């Protein structure tokens, strides 16, 4: 007899922040691997485009609106996700929000909003979808965090705080769920080519990059592609039962011969 029963042949997955960037790439990667995927984000039109692309490629996807700053939206999303695809076997918490401002410049309301989206909303969704996993004695919960936990960055005070809190939540859950059959993993990406920084004004981005360079945080112009991080997430959830990847950090490789810093966007 095996020590652990294998994964079910079909494992329904939920991915938040799935309208773009890492969330979208993760949803596409999981769908390509055979997971029916529920996509969650605020931009329903973008979500539907992603879902259509997945189904056109032969996968199964459902797009549902999700606002992690709205408790009712989270509760409704969780209920509808289970109605659409059945028991959720995989939850990838990838939604996030980042606003460039120092600790003394960021408005308290904006600071609170980033903590709400990145941490409190994520916890509420996990609280809805996690207990049934424990009852079934299997499941994967993956939190996509950031390497700002390891190397804090200036001008991202609220984001750094939120991602530290998110990893704290994940670490506590890893201990609490040990032996239940539910695995909690952390995927910690470094700088990635997503829409987040691309929306910042050019002068703000230049100022921030200059500060990061001064602190030795940015050493080369390489960026991760969202699909690179998605592959890491898929690796975490696809490991056979009996194996638990607790933390997987992904960093961009420096371009060969690359020197100096270039600005995206």
* pLDDT above 80: residue 7: yes
Helix (H) or strand (E) holding 28: helix 21-32
Check residues 213 and 157 and name the one with the higher pLDDT. 157
Q: What is the CATH number of domain 12-249?
A: 3.40.50.720
Q: Pairing state of beta strands 37-41 and 139-144?
A: unpaired
* pLDDT above 90: residue 217: no
Residues belonging to the active site: 159
Q: What is the C-alpha end-to-end distance of the chain, expressed in Å?
A: 55
Check residues 133 and 256 and name the one with the higher pLDDT. 133
Between CA 195 and CA 94 the distance in angstroms is: 14
Report, as an integer, the average pLDDT of 53-64.
97
pLDDT of residue 220: 81
pLDDT of residue 212: 80
pLDDT of residue 195: 64
- 27-42 tens-digit pLDDT: 999 999 999 999 999 9
Confidence of residue 264 (pLDDT cuts 50, 70, 90): very low
Check residues 200 and 244 and name the one with the higher pLDDT. 244
Between CA 260 and CA 264 the distance in angstroms is: 13
pLDDT of residue 209: 81
Confidence of residue 259 (pLDDT cuts 50, 70, 90): low
Between CA 29 and CA 15 the distance in angstroms is: 11
pLDDT of residue 196: 65
- 15-26 tens-digit pLDDT: 999 999 999 999
What pTM value is reported for the model?
A: 0.92
Check residues 197 and 234 and name the one with the higher pLDDT. 234
Report, as an integer, the average pLDDT of 172-182.
98
pLDDT of residue 262: 46
């Amino acid at each position: 007899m095996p020590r652990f029963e294998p994964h079910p042949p079909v494992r329904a997955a939920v991915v938040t922040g799935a309208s773009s960037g890492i969330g979208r790439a993760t949803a596409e990667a999981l769908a390509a691997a055979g997971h029916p995927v529920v996509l969650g984000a605020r931009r329903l039109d973008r979500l539907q485009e992603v879902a259509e692309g997945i189904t056109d490629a032969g996968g199964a996807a459902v797009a549902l609106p999700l606002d992690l700053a709205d408790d009712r939206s989270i509760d409704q999303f969780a209920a509808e996700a289970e109605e659409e695809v059945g028991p959720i076997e995989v939850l990838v918490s990838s939604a996030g929000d980042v606003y460039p401002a120092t600790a003394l410049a960021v408005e308290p309301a904006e600071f609170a909003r980033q903590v709400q989206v990145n941490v409190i909303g994520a916890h509420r969704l996990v609280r809805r979808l996690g207990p049934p996993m424990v009852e079934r004695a299997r499941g994967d919960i993956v939190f996509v965090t950031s390497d700002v936990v390891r190397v804090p960055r200036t001008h991202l005070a609220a984001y750094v705080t939120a991602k530290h809190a998110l990893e704290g939540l994940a670490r506590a859950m890893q201990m609490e769920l040990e032996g239940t059959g539910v695995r909690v993993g952390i995927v910690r990406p470094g700088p990635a080519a997503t829409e987040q920084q691309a929306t910042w004004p050019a002068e703000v981005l230049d100022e921030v990059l200059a500060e990061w360079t001064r602190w030795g945080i940015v050493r080369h112009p390489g960026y991760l592609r969202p699909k690179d991080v998605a592959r890491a997430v898929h690796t975490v959830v696809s490991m056979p039962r009996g194996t638990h990847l607790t933390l997987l950090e992904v960093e961009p490789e420096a371009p060969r011969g690359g020197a100096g810093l270039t600005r995206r966007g």
